Chains A and B, each alone.
Chain A
Amino acid sequence: MKRIILMLFVVVAASSPSFAKVDLVTLPSRDTVQLTIYNSADLTLVRESRGLTLKEGANSLQFSWANTLIDPTSLGMLPKASADKIDIAELTYPPRVRNLGLWNIESGVSGKVPVEITYLTSGLSWRAFYMGTLTQNEKAMRLQGYVRVTNNSGEDYENAQTRLIVGKVHILDEIAELARRQYPYGRPGEVVPRPAAAPVERVRARGVRVLEAAVAGMPERPKEIKKEGLSEYFLYTIEGTETIPTGSAKRLLSFEVDDVPVVNLYKYEEQRYGAGVVRFLSFKNDEEHNLGDTPIPGGRLKVYRNADDRGHLSYAGQSSFKYIPVDEDVELNLGPVANVVVEPKLMDYKTENHRFDRSGDISGWDEVRKFTIEVKNTRDIGVKVEIKRNFDTPYWKLDRGGDFGDFEKVDLDTVKFTLSLTPRSAKKFEYTLRTYHGERQEDWTGARS
């Protein structure tokens, strides 16, 4: 539906913009339109180019946007030719009229002048989502990234150049709230109410039907999405133009990489994940992993596994991940599993080195705990296992033995053991943890690792 209407009034009497003296009205149509859609906020920058036929002297241009979600304070107009001869004197929001702006233009030229109109609107959104397909040995994954663009703005944007912004933009007011205001800049002394509900929810509540894919006249190959960095953002420009009517959505392929080597990483950390092992798929957004051209926007990934040679799939799980800069590690949490097991066992406990104060009460002691950790890989593929242990005190000493792999002190009270296990194998290691309490902390000489 076309709801944004542009009217040009050429005013005969140059001294007054009064409507009664209008002698000509033209409705310049959009020549081109560009949408720059953000995903960290409900925000789209719209840039339209239109050709205005101006008359020398005063011209009045009416722009109306009833039933759309345009922020009226964001309206801007720039002449793209004869800019030095065209003065856009003011933008008036007339009294007792809603969703209407009036530009008063002083023109030193007469004839057709291309202008660019920009504004911010709410209601268009995009999100990234991914599909991963693991090889049978789970050593590599085909990764497909998609973007889905949804238009609930109330306006049809036909043949729009569509651009998507990856990044976290700082905004003060919700555009949807600015669009709903009775007066564009509010009233003096008015306390501006905060938006009541997220616009996405509102759209769902209305039950708008969302259409997937199905693009008319799709050429033989999917459209390319060009990616480039700008400031702290990444700009995705979709090849050609798109028509996304209001109420509809479109899915586009953002990238497809066949062989991303992945590590099957399993983590155990009682404080964070409880008593179970959590499976992660790990890879890096770099060249070695056939990636690394651009950051990967955050989104949800569904992971499948090739189940047999005939292309049947099994579903491995899904994970959301955050924005991944180039060269950063990706860890996809696929949830708890039972086929890799980490079993810490307290084998011995004692207290010793007691100190007593003048009243004969205990003022210091050590606690000594001996743990055995058994790690079992029941899968038919090799895995990497990370075990983190938290001690709740910075006064500790640790002695370890057995096959504990790589050891690292993470912070003042956390250590990490990293082990690699071949298919269907088990490893076992021990450590003895001495913690210092009360006055015994005075005898502590630093964590030994």
Chain B
Amino acid sequence: MSTVTEQTADSVHEGHDHHDHYEPFWKKYIFSTDHKTIGIQYGFTSLVFLAFGFFLMMVMRWSIAYPDRAVPLLADWPWFQAWLDDGGKVTGDLYNMFGAMHGTIMVFLGVVPLAFGAFGNYVTPLQIGAVDMAFPRLNMASYWFFLLGGVLMFVSFFLPSGAAKAGWTNYSPLATTTDLHYGDLFWTGQTQWLMGMVFLISSSLLGAVNFICTIINLRCQGMTWMRLPFFVWAMLVTGFLLLLAFPPLEVAAIMQLMDRMAGTSFYIPTGLNVSGMAFDAAGGGSPLLYQHLFWFLAHPEVYVLILPAIAIVSEIIPCNTRKPLWGYKTMVYAVMVLGFLAFIVWAHHMYITGMGPAISTFFQTTTVLISVPSVILITSLLISMWGGSIRFNTPMLFATAFIPMFGIGGLTGLPLAFSLPDLHLHDTYYVIGHFHYVVAPGTIFALFAGIYHWYPKMTGRMMSERLGQLHFWPSLILMNGIFAPMMFQGMAGFHRRAFDGGKAYEQISNQVFAEANGFIANICELLGIVGKNEPVLMIDLNIVTSTSAWLLAVFQVPFIINLFISGKFGKKAKGDNPWDATTLDWATPTPPPHGNFIGEPVAYRGPYEYSVPGAETDFTPQGEKDPVIVSTAEGEQEKPA
């Protein structure tokens, strides 16, 4: 047996004390096989992509709010010359391109790599007491595949055809027939999107194999299934989602690549006409096939976006309420059921493709069923806070905000689960609002919480509380300022792909949102959105949304400053375990050296032993041998899924 790391203050400060041998710079920081370095690489890359995706969206929001004004600041950039119109306004092509790439970048290059790649990589091996991932070199390969895919996506903006323009879903036959007039089909954005996806998917597959192997085979002694922190459970389920759901999308991408490059007609129906001309293909394919294969991935992908967020939050809440996670076992089973059901709900994205009532009913039923485990997870988190003495530090604020925001996102999804209301709401801003409530103030808030929470472990210094608060409160308000108006607009019938923000559809966009001289109208008048004695129209909400989005960008500046400055000048963390947390990741030196633990870690009890009656402190670390406390852990159990 071995000893668990002593929390001595001197072992904290100098990270390089722990390095047992010298490694050259490029090996240590660039081609590293250490899961922590790779996690940080993932983190930085994905934060850059998140910022880039956010930038694309801000340009789009300008076109929506002020469709007849030139885009400020950008009109003279050489790249924009090709895509803005003569007056410097956003063109439909540019809007489509940015829309497609905003979705792709945010989902595949931003949130998933940050949630699964960065946090999963950094935290999972630490929490299970492993020295590294099961296949460190594979881990490195998966990062470099990811980067390659990201670079291809980014470079595609600079091709003559621009980047992909057919929406982040890339539906055929639109995606197949776009940009066909460019001489070299391979170097068009649409084709490069597919190439990029093939690399990103390969990266995810390698990553998923690695995660599952690590969690199953590298748990330290005593770390039984029911002693795994919930974070690890969520990562395991996420790993399986990626492993089994991504290959059909890879196939779909390969087939679309064949359609574009080799002239096959997997997704081209017989007799297709493009711009009034018969499309030169054999035909006989089915656009529906693409949608099925795409959504077979893309629905589980939603849970890939969400589960790591819930995982992070469920680490932060017990730690800051000083109470065990309520309903740990229920949550574990719920997350497994969720993982299973995630595979058989996909066609609820396709109600308006003409699916018959029988199959629609099946998918409606599974879709409603899947809300049960989601609600179990959220309710457990909520009850975990009940009666605790809560420390409202920045990570906890973000984690707390996550719950209602994700709740709104989830509940607004219910109407979309039924085919009848979906006919009305499909492809409106309502869908955008629903999805973004889940992912933006939901997942991204949880990711922020995670960054604030594990930052002291990564650097040995705390992030500034004050800047954190300055980051949190405006973000919370502005996030709602962005997405709440979308719900109203969506129900009024605003179509999501109108690049002029619905100006061309007067019947829809001139509906009254709030009567003149009412409370809301007065506020809007004060803000200069509407004139005196004018009602607030639905289309006026565009300005509210867009302004909120730009302001949101401004209030990310405190976070960026915090992220970079605190590493050098932040307050030093007290010991290896500044939050007094229980899980094994806090039992390592700070920052953890290559190999993570000093000695071999052993898990003696469950992961959330906070405020155990009779214990000396209000937390009892998993790795601390203490005969006073009776272990609550179950025996060895097999993992069902």
Query: Do the two chains bind?
Result: no
List residues of A whose CB falls within 8 A of some B CB. Answer: none
> What residues of chain B have their CB less than 8 Å away from a CB belonging to chain A?
none
